[in-house]
A and B are shown apart, each in its own frame.
Chain A
Amino acid sequence: MNRYPLWKNALIVLVLLWGLLYTLPNFYGEVPAVQVSSAKATLKLDPASTTDRLNSALREAGLAHTGIFSDATSVRARFADTEQQLRAKDVIEQVFNPDPADPSYVVALNLLSASPNWLTSIKALPMYLGLDLRGGVHFLLEVDMPGALVKRLDSTTGDLRTLMRDKSVRHAGITREGNTVVIRFRDAEQREAGRRAIQDATNDLQLADRDDAADDLKLVATLTAQAQQTMRDFAIKQNITTLHNRINELGVAEPVIQQQGAERIVVQLPGVQDVAKAKDILGRTATLEVRMVDDTPGAVEQALAGNVPFGTELYTERGGAPLLVSRQVVLTGDRLTDAQPGFDGQTNEPAVHLTLDAAGARIFRDVTRESVGKRMAILLFEKGKGEVVTAPVIRSEIGGGRVQISGRMTTAEANDVALLLRAGSLAAPMEIIEERTVGPSLGAENITKGSNSVIWGFLAIAVFMIAYYTLFGLVSVIALTFNLVLLIALLSLLQATLTLPGIAAMALTLGMAIDANVLINERIREELRNGASPQAAISAGYDRSFDTILDANITTLIAGIALLVFGSGPVRGFAVVHCLGILTSMFSAILVSRMIINFIYGRQRKITKLHLGQSAN
């Protein structure tokens, strides 16, 4: 009478086998590995050919690997020990990046699961450990959207000026005022012409009239809501791309770069030790601008006295001399395709060699041709502060898009500037608003402490349950073991990040999961006390507890889901495991334990006693 149909038993056993299989990779530990991935957005990594190249490189160097794995974006080779790994990294670096100044591939040290290949091939991977367990750096960056808007409006100002000139509309000045661009006109007719010209050219601007005096008519342009949204999206995407490029320069094996919310980016660099360097690369928001220098005699003196001439800004050159620079930007870092550190051919000073794209090269040629004899300033903006790197006199037209900047730089500075420029410019400045660094020793310690808590707590419960409920207690403990196995299997399958709070949730969930079995066992005892036959008591015990178990678990699940929705960081890590654990506990506590009890008692026609640890009545 207490029997499950065959299909039900088969299903439960299948689920359990699946659980065991997917839990397996977690027991193999990790081995050192070297990972090769593409360092450039333009270079698509071909797994097959890369694997071949890697193989032959290692063979030539006489290094033995214990397996090469590839996926769409990277190829990884495992090694027996760290010494081999480090030697292999040097070899691979030489083969894949013959020119260290311009690496095409990221060659990074990594750890790979030591589980056999057949497990990996069925996507049975070990749990994905969070930074607090494996060590590394976590950053939360916030994009400065007002800053991006100002930047956009500045470039709009330039565009409008060009537009007015092209359409021969006479205006009396275009300036950015706060979040608007104001165009002045002397008469209504010209203003009308200006409005038409703008409306024909773009949909992004909303135009409004403002008349301050009869001969001071203004057209106030603001970005439409839609254009602002597009700009925001673009800014965050562009910044993510840039971060990707920069992090590639760092050579991290499995970086995580994700958008969080509308204005934030999460960066996680597992295993990174040199936090200072990482922060340096991430936190610097260098952009390059080329502008003309205003060398009007007396203008600098006037500006220093506090009267900066219209349309210019005051900067200090490296070395301290003040310099008046036009607000109008000739060229920005967006037009840059490459930047390499090097030396000036004549003076042997450290220099950065820039390569411009076609449009950039054309602009640069035109400007230099028109302005021979004038000075041009190259500004580097970091964290919103501009600095004139150099302001050379233009001797002749410069074509071909190859430009060199030099001037009072050290070799290290030239290297840094080149790296920052090469990594691309950020669309908008960013700020680190959260940082979490965990040293590798603390990570390992956290794993030990977390698993010790689970193991000891589990053992205590097991001993107590078996002592108190004897055979039924043993069945409950087996069910609880399967609960743990299924939970680990699910976490491995989903590759959800396991953190220390996650391990805590695992412990808590196990502690709570036993409730279902206690409820069932107590109910069976009670039914027996009330005079039910053993078979009927088992059946009634399971059936009548079900509602209670369901209600109890759903209320706990509600709390878990709320944590999942509103939690961030450690809370989310806790909530994921907690919710999954509630689901697996329902399965194992009810179905698995019932199946085992059925196997033990279900076939017996007449049972004299249930081994439930109850005192004789």
Chain B
Amino acid sequence: MEFFRQRTDIPFMRHALKFNLFSSLAFVLAVFFIVLRGLNLSVEFTGGTLIEVGYAEPPRIEDIRQALARDGYPDAQVQNFGSAREILIRMPNREDLDTSRISERVMATLQATEGPQPELRRVEFVGPQVGKELATDGAMALLLVIIGIVIYLAMRFEWRFAVSAIIANLHDVIIIVGFFAFFQWEFSLPVLAAVLAVLGYSVNESVVVFDRVRETFKKKRAMDTPAVLDHAITAMISRTVITHGSTLMMVVSMLIFGGETLYYFALALTIGICFGIYSSIFVASPLVMWLGVSREQFIKPKKEKEEAVV
């Protein structure tokens, strides 16, 4: 089987401007929604209590809500989780509540409520001190990834590649976060991990294309820069589609079988992978071109660099 038998190079660079306009638009929209709607941060970031309860048969959510309100938790959010037989109760931290007792009290309330008997499945309580740290740690991790990747790519390739790759892939990250803001999906710690993994993953994609660009520059002396980029992308298109197809199969399998806990994690990865392919081809490569990459940058310094690495 062979999906791609491209004899001639596809002129990606001719449409570079259009793609980048689309990207810029998507980026601006993502930022707009992040600012406007904010993120639906999970209890890990905001602090609070989350209780997951399972029932043998579907309980009446309204009864539970009222029972909790009567028992002193009017701000409790009650919703179904996964199936009608499971419910998730969320409560913000409040000064006047004895936080360490919430889960017991809630369970007592639920047991006293009419209807099927509850089974405690999961409790998560996060104090206000912890949430802030997680946010800073997340930001630090993001910063470390960016710096690390820029340094590595600058050493291994050229600063123009490093800058383009990072810009293209940060744009992916912002777009994923934009999706989470737009749909108000829950942004939890695993989602943060997924976002950072996507950053590494899409840089990986850019690297593969850049590697080919470097090779083409060295081999095909007659080509100008856009032609080199077109040639490299066309040569890699088959691999790009198959690799990401495979990764997507895995991620979609997680989306289907992984249950509620892995759902948003897998979702972030799915969006990230799709945009990762797009941005590597249509964003990173034109950026490299506009930053003024040329053959001369590879031919001379290249020799000693390759030796230095090998």
Instruction: List chain A residues, Cβ under 8 A from B24.
Output: none
Least CB distance, A265 to chain B, in whole angstroms: 14
Q: B124 at interface (Cβ–Cβ under 8 A)?
A: yes
Q: Are A547 and B211 in contact (CB under 8 A)?
A: yes
Stretch of A196-204, A370-378, A451-459 on the interface side: A451-459
Q: Taking the complex as formed, is A227 at the interface, i.e. its CB lies under 8 A from any CB of chain B?
A: no
Contact of A142 among B129, B259, B266 (CB under 8 A): B129
Of the listed stretches A18-26, A72-80, A441-449, A591-599, name the one at the interface; the rest are far from the partner chain. A441-449
Does the CB pair A559–B254 fall under 8 Å? no
Given the complex, which residues of A lie within 8 Å of B35, measured CB to CB? none
Interface check B122, CB cutoff 8 A: yes
A615 contacts chain B at the CB level, 8 A cutoff:
yes
Assess the B249–A570 pair: CB atoms within 8 A. Answer: no
Contact of B254 with A457 in the complex, beta carbons under 8 Å: yes
Do B247 and A468 have beta carbons less than 8 Å apart? no
- In the complex, A341 Cα to B235 Cα: how many Å? 80
Indicate whether A16 reaches chain B with its CB closer than 8 angstroms: no
Q: Mark B158-202, 1 if CB is under 8 A from A, else 0.
A: 000000000000000000000000000000011011001101110
Q: Say whether A434 contacts B249, CB under 8 Å.
A: no
A554 to B137, CA, bound (A): 22
Interface residue B253 (Cβ < 8 Å from any Cβ of A)? yes
Interface residues on A, range: 35 or more
- A501 contacts the other chain (Cβ, under 8 Å)? yes
Docked CA distance A505–B265 (Å):
10
Question: By the criterion of a CB under 8 Å from any partner CB, how many residues of chain B are at the interface?
Answer: 76
A452 CA to B252 CA in the complex, in Å?
A: 12
Q: Is A614 touching B2 in the complex (CB atoms < 8 A)?
A: yes
A121 lies within 8 A of chain B by Cβ: no
Known contacts: A568-B134, A568-B137, A571-B192. The answer to whether A555 contacts B204 by CB under 8 A is: yes
Q: Does A548 contact B (CB under 8 A)?
A: yes
The answer to whether residues A508 and B52 also contact, given A433-B127, A456-B256, A558-B145 and a CB cut-off of 8 A, is: no
Q: Chain B 137-149, CB within 8 Å of chain A: the 1/0 string?
A: 1101110110011
Q: Identify whether the interface residues of B are mostly helix, strand, loop, or mixed.
A: helix
Known: A435-B123, A439-B122. A552 touches B141 (CB 8 A): no
Identify the closest chain B residue to A544 (Cβ).
B215
B189 to chain A, nearest CB (A): 5
Contacts of B74 in A (CB 8 A): none
Chain A, 448-479, contact with B by CB distance < 8 Å: what is the 0/1 string?
A: 01101110111011001101100000000000
Select the stretch in A179-187, A394-402, A509-517 that faces chain B.
A509-517
| A555–B141 touching, CB < 8 Å | no
B141 contacts A468, C-beta separation under 8 Å: no
Is B262 a contact partner of A461 (Cβ separation < 8 A)? no
Q: Are A559 and B200 in contact (CB under 8 A)?
A: yes
Task: Provide the bound-state CA to CA distance between A467 and B211, in Å.
Answer: 28
The distance from the CB of A102 to the nearest CB of chain B, in whole angstroms, is: 29
Expressed in whole angstroms, the minimum distance between the Cβ of B58 and any Cβ of chain A is 17
Minimum CB–CB distance for A400 against chain B, Å: 39
Q: B257 contacts which of A453, A547, A556, A613 (Cβ < 8 Å)?
A: A453
A-B contact count (CB 8 A): 237
Say yes or no for B84: interface residue by CB 8 A criterion. no
Chain B residues lying within 8 Å of A283, measured Cβ to Cβ, are: 100
Tell whether A562 pairs with B247 under 8 Å between CB atoms, given A522-B238, A555-B152: no
The residues of A that contact B134 with a CB separation of less than 8 Å are 568
Q: Does chain A have a CB within 8 A of B77?
A: no
A224 to B283, alpha carbons, bound, how many Å? 58
CA distance A552 to B210 in the complex (A): 10
CA of A562 to CA of B144 in the docked complex: distance in angstroms?
Answer: 6
B13 within 8 A of A: no
Tell me whether A218 is interfacial, beta carbon within 8 Å.
no
Whether the pair A551, B207 counts as a contact (CB closer than 8 A) is: yes
Given A140-B130, A461-B246, A526-B235: A563 and B197 within 8 A (CB)?
yes
Question: By the criterion CB–CB under 8 Å, are B2 and A613 in contact?
Answer: yes
Is the CB of B242 closer than 8 A to any CB of chain A? yes
Residues of A within 8 A of B269 (CB): 508
Q: Which residues of A contact B245 (CB under 8 A)?
A: 464
Interface residue? B1 (CB, 8 A): yes
Give, as a whole number of angstroms, the nearest-CB distance from B65 to chain A: 22
Task: Check: A311 CB closer than 8 A to any chain B CB.
Answer: no
A437 CA to B236 CA, complexed, in Å: 47
- Whether A566 is near chain B, meaning CB under 8 Å from some CB there, is yes
* Contact for B204 among A434, A515, A544, CB less than 8 A: A515
- CB-CB under 8 A from B119, the residues of chain A are 439, 441
| Chain B min CB distance to A515 (Å) | 4
Can you name 28 A-B pairs with beta carbons within 8 Å?
A142-B129, A276-B104, A432-B100, A437-B124, A438-B121, A438-B122, A439-B120, A441-B54, A441-B119, A446-B261, A449-B258, A452-B257, A453-B253, A457-B251, A461-B250, A500-B261, A505-B197, A522-B236, A548-B207, A548-B211, A552-B204, A558-B152, A562-B144, A571-B189, A571-B192, A571-B193, A574-B190, A574-B193
Q: 8 closest A-B pairs (Cβ-Cβ)? A: A559-B200, A511-B250, A457-B253, A433-B127, A457-B250, A566-B141, A511-B247, A437-B123
